[in-house]
Amino acid sequence: MNVWSGEPIPNEQSTLGVGVPLKDAEMVRHRLIKSKLLLQQKKPIKTKELVFFPITDPKQIPSLLSDITFEFQQKLFSSRLEQEPIKLCLQKEFPHIKWEDISLKYDQIGEIAVLKLNSSITSQSIRQRVGELILSRSPRLKAVINKSDIVVGVKRVYPIEHLAGKRIWQSWHQEYGVFIFIDLRAYFNPRLAEEHHRVAMSVNPGERILDLFTGVGSFALHCAKKTSCDVVAIDINSYAINALKRSIKKNKLKGNINPIIGDSLNILRLQSHFDRVIINLPQVSVNYLPYGAKLLKKGGIITFYQFISKSETPETQIRHKVSKELGDVISYKEQYIKVGREVSPSRIQVNIDLQIN
Ligand SMILES: C[S@@+](CC[C@H](N)C(=O)[O-])C[C@H]1O[C@@H](n2cnc3c(N)ncnc32)[C@H](O)[C@@H]1O
């Protein structure tokens, strides 16, 4: 239940803050940033049970945090030191580069910043300086790494170039209160957090779930955290499954996860019946649909993710592909479709749930 403690009483130094439980803090921070409600020049305050974020507009908070317990309080938030923007520093130090055209956006994976630096910056020392500056601006970071443009091989990992900070490639990451152990030698994409959460929210107690390309097990962990389901989670990459085993120990799960290192093709030959099959190998997921469908109970759900080329009508494109794979043999009903993130200038990802009859 949300707690609205009435109109806050401001004073000259204090700022209005919203307090949320520690477990929800990371998710709330992301939502506040996305909605431009976080006062970024002030530092959040952490107490034993809550984190208070300084905010701009309390009226928008109840709808933004409708699923979370929160409270308002006036607080004395300390200011962050005014620091020169990174690009300005770089422009002064390396004036021959047009920094305004270079993206320095990074994904924060636990304590690691993962950057995709433009390949035109070839100088090792400049690349390292970018890493140092990013590190100096965020006390929560321990390391900055750069990933090359291409995700390579069947395991979908990228070569790691260490730019600054500790030489680490493993870290704990949190999504919606779920702890996920990340090993950068296995695939992980923090931008899938909402999908992990969406799927878990639709799982019912007692479901049997097969997560065919589980990676570090994000779907499996979200589902087993939400309810008492049974998940078989398989991946060919041993780093991924070893990471999942650590996460299983760390989270207080309601459900059970059976982590398997192996080729999903072997599982597809099983004689077993699941309520839900998750297929997230987006280059070729659609080709696995007939096999996934055979492993489902009547009325079961296949959740899958597929890359397609950008077009005016992505839904038509993906429906055509699905019908080619399933149409004549298996009857199905589309339950959910979302044109998701852009994965390259020419490709997008589509997220779909199909009910198999
Ligand atoms: C896109 S990632 C999965 C991401 C994960 N589901 C998530 O939400 O974070 C695809 C995964 O498929 C695994 N993989 C590729 N081919 C495989 C196969 N034949 N059998 C099992 N796993 C495979 C890769 O190691 C990689 O971890």
Ligand 1 mean position, distance from CA 204 (Å):
24
Query: What are the residues whose beta carbons fall under 8 Å from the beta carbon of 236, sequence distance 6 or more?
Result: 154, 155, 261, 262, 263, 264
CATH number for the domain formed by residue range(s) 86-168 = 3.30.300.110
Ligand 1 mean position, distance from CA 161 (Å):
22
Buried/exposed 46-75: b ≥16 CB within 10 Å, e otherwise: eeeebbbbbbeeeeebeebbeebebebeeb
Ligand 1 mean position, distance from CA 279 (Å):
9
Q: Which atom from ligand 1 is nearest to the alpha carbon of 196? A: 8
Atom 3 of ligand 1 has which residue's CA nearest to it?
Answer: 215
CATH match of 15-75 with 3.30.70.2580: yes
Atom 12 of ligand 1 has which residue's CA nearest to it?
Answer: 213
Ligand 1 mean position, distance from CA 212 (Å):
7
Query: What are the residues whose beta carbons fall under 8 Å from the beta carbon of 85, sequence distance 6 or more?
Result: none
| CB of 349 closer than 6 angstroms to any ligand 1 atom | no
Domain boundaries, the chain: 15-75, 86-168, 191-356
Torsion of CA 236, 238, 244, 249, to 10 degrees: 140
Beta bridge partners of 164: 144
| CB of 305 closer than 6 angstroms to any ligand 1 atom | no
Cβ pair 144, 173 in contact under 8 A? no
**pLDDT one digit per residue (tens) for the chain, 357 residues:** 344 444 444 445 788 999 999 988 988 998 999 899 999 888 899 998 999 999 999 999 999 999 999 999 999 888 876 677 899 999 999 999 999 999 999 999 999 999 989 888 989 999 999 999 999 988 889 999 998 766 666 767 778 899 999 999 999 999 999 999 999 999 999 999 999 999 999 999 999 999 999 999 999 999 999 999 999 999 999 999 999 999 999 999 999 999 999 999 888 777 779 999 999 999 999 999 999 999 999 999 999 999 999 888 899 999 999 999 998 788 999 999 999 888 888 999 999 999 998
For 127-146, give the DSSP string.
HHHHHHHHHHH-TT-SEEEE
Q: Pull the structure tokens for residue 56.
A: 């701009």
| CB of 203 closer than 6 angstroms to any ligand 1 atom | no
Query: What pTM was computed for the model?
Result: 0.81
CATH match of 191-356 with 1.10.8.100: no
Distance from C-alpha of 162 to C-alpha of 185, rounded to nearest angstrom: 13
Distance from C-alpha of 80 to C-alpha of 318, rounded to nearest angstrom: 47
| CB of 154 closer than 6 angstroms to any ligand 1 atom | yes
Atom 27 of ligand 1 has which residue's CA nearest to it?
Answer: 215
Atom 8 of ligand 1 has which residue's CA nearest to it?
Answer: 218
